[in-house]
Amino acid sequence: MALPPADRPGASASVRANPVTVVIVDDSAVQRRFVRTVVESDPGLMLVGEARNGRDGVAMVERLRPHVVLMDLHLPVMNGIEAIERIMAVRPTPILVYSAFVDGDDRDNATAALAAGAVDVMEKPGVAGVGKLDEDAEALRRRLRLVGRVKVITHPRARLGGAGATLSTRRLGPVVGRAALAGGAEPSAVPASVDGLKARKARVLAIGASTGGPQALATLLAELPSGLDTAVVVVQHMADGFIEGLATWLDGICALPVSVGASGRRLQPGTVTIAPSGLNFVVHRELRVTTEEPPRSQYHVPGIDVTFASVAEAVGGDAVGVLLTGMGRDGAVGLKRMRDRGAFTIAQDEATCAVYGMPAAAMAVGAVDRQLALADIGPALRKLILTPVRLEDEVIS
């Protein structure tokens, strides 16, 4: 595998002096060796510990306090999900799940790991040629550098059903059945931050999220009751193959039905449609949707900008746009297009974001009507699209 040397000339003195420290937790000696080679090839990364089981991994994170943990899910002694829960309860650290997702159960487990507090998921490289391994190595380096900058919060195990569960019994993390939510989540108190919001017609609620998005989506969507007159479309940046598991998990904790979108169908009121992985998701008039191959230059797929811009063209001001936590700038331009066409737009605030990248970019280009804490976005949406619209409130300046 042709990896660049650790002392390559392009590295800045700052990067060399302040590398992202990494702990890997994996029982595979082959995978640990691969990761060691990848990390040591990058002066911006430093491997500070290797653990072979979940219990040792938790202890190592507490002792070494790395910037990022690379965590397999199938581990001896303590499985990966329990290890993630323990780390997020006692030493919150950005965790990148790194596992061989070979079947549906494994992909469901990856979703459970996100629910437990992991920041992102990534599939281990399989049997491939040198060129593919080089691509996998560069993708891993890039992801470690990004995840190492993520802000995380304590995620108590008590909220996740307690420790000691196995992968097979904990696949989908905390689930509140739809029967319990048939009338919608118990409305939270209306915060002062939503004062002044006026009810409006909204055919579409468009939501974009990236790093830290699954937890944010669970919080937001749980605030929306069944019987909603608005169609909800969600674009979440996630590696290929994991959107289906995310939809299944969200479907179990929200009052609204959640499914993955398909080309040629229509968005339905009172339904959450998640953009499929690997393709851009475009909304047309009459809320018909299509999927499109992204250009080679597009980094994030599916693209939030693409979906937001299409919603702006399809329904104009009869929409609400929400941009949640995430790395990069995707969604900012599309949210600005929505606002320019009369939609009401919301961005998650810095204090509650795992990564204040996309919302910050949206603020910078004037795309945001209201910036709110994550806990306040649900109440704001209830006030905007669930309150009966009076004639004089139909247009918001």
Nearest Cα residue to 56 out of 67, 69, 46, 47: 69
Full set of structural domains in the chain with CATH: 13-160 (3.40.50.2300), 178-393 (3.40.50.180)
Residue 136 has pLDDT above 60, yes or no: yes
* Residue 155 annotated in active site: no
Residue 275 has pLDDT above 50, yes or no: yes
* Residue 72 annotated in active site: no
Element containing residue 289 per DSSP (H, E): strand 289-292
Whose tokens are 């579409």? That residue is: 204
Q: Tell me how far apart the alpha carbons of residues 327 and 10 are, in angstroms, rounded to a whole number.
A: 23
Among the options 210, 300, 305, 376, which is catalytic?
Answer: 210
Among the options 237, 300, 305, 310, which is catalytic?
Answer: 237
Residue 330 has pLDDT above 80, yes or no: yes
* Residue 330 annotated in active site: yes
Which stretches within 117-196 are classed as H helix?
Answer: 130-147
Between 278 and 99, residue with greater pLDDT: 278
Q: What is the pLDDT of residues 39-82, one digit of tens each?
A: 999 999 999 999 999 999 999 999 999 999 999 999 999 999 99
Among the options 42, 136, 330, 376, which is catalytic?
Answer: 330
Tokens (6 digits) for 309: 């811009």
Q: What is the pLDDT of residues 285-328, one digit of tens each?
A: 999 999 999 998 888 899 999 999 999 999 999 999 999 998 88
